[in-house]
Amino acid sequence: MTNKSGSAVEMINLQRIFGDVKALDGLNLTIKPGQLVALLGPSGCGKTTALRLLAGLDLADGGQITVDGRDITNVPANKRDMGMVFQAYSLFPNLTAVENVAFGLKVRGISEEIRIKKAKELLDLVGLSREANRYSHQLSGGQQQRVALARALAIEPKVLLLDEPLSALDAKVRTQLRDEIRRIQLEVGTTTLFVTHDQEEAMAMADLVGVMSNGKLEQIAAPDDIYANPATAFVASFVGAMNRIPAKLSSGKVEFLGQSVKYGGGSSATTVVALVRPESISVTPTKVNDSKSGTVIARSFLGPQTRLTVKTHEHGTHLHVDMASSDALELTAGTNVSLTITASTVLTDADGKN
Amino acid sequence: MNKNNSSTVTAKPGLGLNAWMIAGLLFFTVPMFSAFIFSVQVGDGTYTLGAYRRMISDPGFGEALWISARLAILTVAIAIGIMVPTVTWLHIRAQRAKRIVEFITLLPLIIPPVVIALGFLGSMPLWLKDSVYMLVFAYVVLSMPYTFRSIDTGLSAIDVKTLVDAARGLGASWRQVMVSIIGPNIQSAIFGAIFLTVALVLGEFVISNLLLWSTLPVWMALVGMSDAEGAVALSVMSLVFVWLLLMLLSSLNRRRKVRVNVGGLS
């Protein structure tokens, strides 16, 4: 069952065009053996297309895909040895859970005794040995996706492909299954490509997160790196919460809220928008009304943290500020506060974009 | 509103519905019953099954029945064999072309049978014109409106694209996808299509008559010219036969479903 080695995947300059739309516009992606890479992006960014090309369910208009150095760009789906879990429930309704898991082995001509034994082992791995003889309509959504995962792993795939497998589930099951998929993936060591629009999911599960936009990979890095050092304004805005504050750029400094911070990349126009995370702003009560102050207009308690909404005096911009709940007790709505940027560098985006 | 009022309100539609059902039942049963009486009644008011015996023992009956049965089996095999993969393909790869194909499948209902028959006669190769099996091609075309709709409905009830992608991804060939996944999941629809096709072949008259083949309906019409009771007896028999066939197909279908459900609960 275990496949500790995993396969190396390489996508080189992949192109896929639907009519006038370039779903993939020169995608380059390398996945090392055993890695779990999450492709993250808004809908229509090409992440699912990339996964379907790797699965062979769609064919590229240009570029190359290799697995362990072997070119599989034009190999049909049924000859690729990819295990896939879909967003929609995909169990075969005419087969029981154990028959579903054994299906891939059956089409490979493996004897019934061996394939049922193996299917039962995999159902055990996903914690569903007692549901082996149930049909899909007798299983909950979470159980169906677990069976689908077991079915994908049964063929000992070179690559495991997960196409938003959690998005149809409710929040609690989603978190549970997310951790379980990661545990199983680490246990079997299969190289995995995971596609999602949910950044929390991507951050929590992946070794590397690739952020996609308009058919291209904007940045690929470890989750903490993506969050702390976004390479582009798009990545900065897409991953995590981000304040957009009107700013001016002069001699390598971004000037806003009466302060100047080192320019960290992005738009280089004179008038720009500074991108600042809610936790990179600190507030202290003040009586002064100047360009670095504002008024608290709302406060949301989020458990250990509290998020303040502050309206700046300079431009009337609404900012989010995250702080420890214990420090936020006195900062009720109407409090006048002074705003300090704690980030050492800031990214900028072109003015006028939202 | 008090209790009495509400009870009258609920009772009325029930009564109306029953009346409709009885009327509907009579509409279908009275002609059948009359036909049956006509076929068993002799001039002096006594009843006999003579007409039935006469028809069954006629060598022409067995021959015509055998021709129609062969045609029905072949037509079903070809129609289902073509239509299931085609409609599946339309569902997964060519959703937009589905409407066009749907319209094309309706053409046999629009074009007069005489035109279809002459068209067939003109377009068939010579060696096929000599064979009764040329009718199979005509019947496959005539069955399209029914087979397409039935299978289309069956496929619409399942997520074909995802199931096909899943099966392909697991290594299944297209044949395995059709036989192991699509077929079993649209079984009711396929049974429906089979039944409609058999009923069509066993009832089709115009084309086989024009092309001079003595299928069951043609033979029945021929007998009817000289033996009215015999022809009606044949109609009653074919009605009972088709009805039995329907019961058989639907019970096969139900039995398979029950097996699936019982298996699931164990």
Q: What is the pLDDT along chain A (354 residues), one digit of tens a residue?
A: 444 568 889 999 988 988 888 888 888 989 999 899 999 988 888 889 999 999 998 888 998 999 998 899 989 888 888 989 998 889 999 999 999 999 999 999 999 999 999 999 889 888 888 988 999 999 988 899 889 989 998 988 989 999 988 888 888 888 888 888 898 888 888 999 999 988 888 888 899 999 998 888 889 999 988 888 888 888 888 888 888 888 888 888 888 888 888 888 877 788 888 889 898 999 988 888 888 889 999 988 888 889 999 999 888 888 999 999 888 888 888 889 999 998 888 888 887 654
Residue B129 and residue B30 share a domain: no
How big is chain A by its Cα radius of gyration, in Å?
24
Give ipTM to 2 decimals: 0.79
Q: What is the CATH number of the domain that holds B101?
A: 1.10.3720.10
Q: What is chain B's length?
A: 266
Band of pLDDT at residue B13, cut at 50, 70 and 90: low
Which chain A residues are Cβ-neighbours of B169 within 8 angstroms?
Answer: 55-57, 77-78, 80, 82-84, 152, 161
- Assess contact for A38 and A51: CB atoms under 8 A: no
Minimal-distance CA residue of chain A relative to B181: A92
CA distance A29 to B124: 57
pLDDT number for residue A46: 87
The C-alpha angle with vertex B262 and arms to B261 and B264, in degrees rounded to 5, equals 65
Query: Does some domain include residue B263?
Result: no
Residue B156 and residue B59 share a domain: yes
For chain A, the domains span 9-233, 241-350
pLDDT number for residue B8: 45
Residue B124 and residue B8 share a domain: no
Residue B62 and residue B41 share a domain: no
Residue B103 and residue B11 share a domain: no
Minimal-distance CA residue of chain B relative to A77: B169
Both tokens of A5, joined, read 């080695």
Residue B126 and residue B40 share a domain: no
Query: Does some domain include residue B266?
Result: no
Minimal-distance CA residue of chain B relative to A154: B170
CATH number for the domain whose boundaries are A9-233: 3.40.50.300
Binding-site residues on chain B for chain A (CB distance < 8 A): 158-159, 162-163, 165-173, 176, 180-181, 184-185, 260-261, 263-266
Residue B156 and residue B247 share a domain: yes
Residue B78 and residue B39 share a domain: no
Q: What is the DSSP letter of A250?
A: E
Q: Give the nearest partner residue to B158 out of A82, A93, A151, using CB atoms.
A: A93
pLDDT tens digits, B59-79: 888 888 889 999 999 999 999
Q: Is the pLDDT of residue B261 over 70?
A: no
CA distance B150 to B168: 25
Do A96 and B264 make contact, defined as CB atoms within 8 angstroms?
A: yes
Residue B38 and residue B132 share a domain: no
pLDDT number for residue B207: 85
Domain that holds residue B240: 50-257
pLDDT number for residue B262: 37
pLDDT number for residue A352: 62
Residue B145 and residue B98 share a domain: yes
Q: Give the nearest partner residue to B185 out of A94, A151, A155, using CB atoms.
A: A94
The DSSP-derived string for B18-60 is HHHHHHHHHHHHHHHHHHHHHHHB-TTS-B--HHHHHHHHSHH
Share of chain B above pLDDT 90, in %: 33
Query: Does some domain include residue B129?
Result: yes
For domain A241-350, which architecture applies? Beta Barrel (2.40)
Query: Does some domain include residue B252?
Result: yes
> What is the average per-residue pLDDT within B31-44?
86
Q: Is the pLDDT of residue B163 over 90?
A: yes
Residue B141 and residue B15 share a domain: no
pTM: 0.78
Query: Does some domain include residue B157?
Result: yes
pLDDT tens digits, B196-220: 898 889 888 888 888 888 888 888 8
Do A78 and B162 make contact, defined as CB atoms within 8 angstroms?
A: no
The C-alpha angle with vertex B37 and arms to B35 and B40, in degrees rounded to 5, equals 110
Domain count, chain B: 2
pLDDT number for residue B14: 63
Do B185 and A90 make contact, defined as CB atoms within 8 angstroms?
A: no
Residue B133 and residue B32 share a domain: no
Do A78 and B263 make contact, defined as CB atoms within 8 angstroms?
A: no
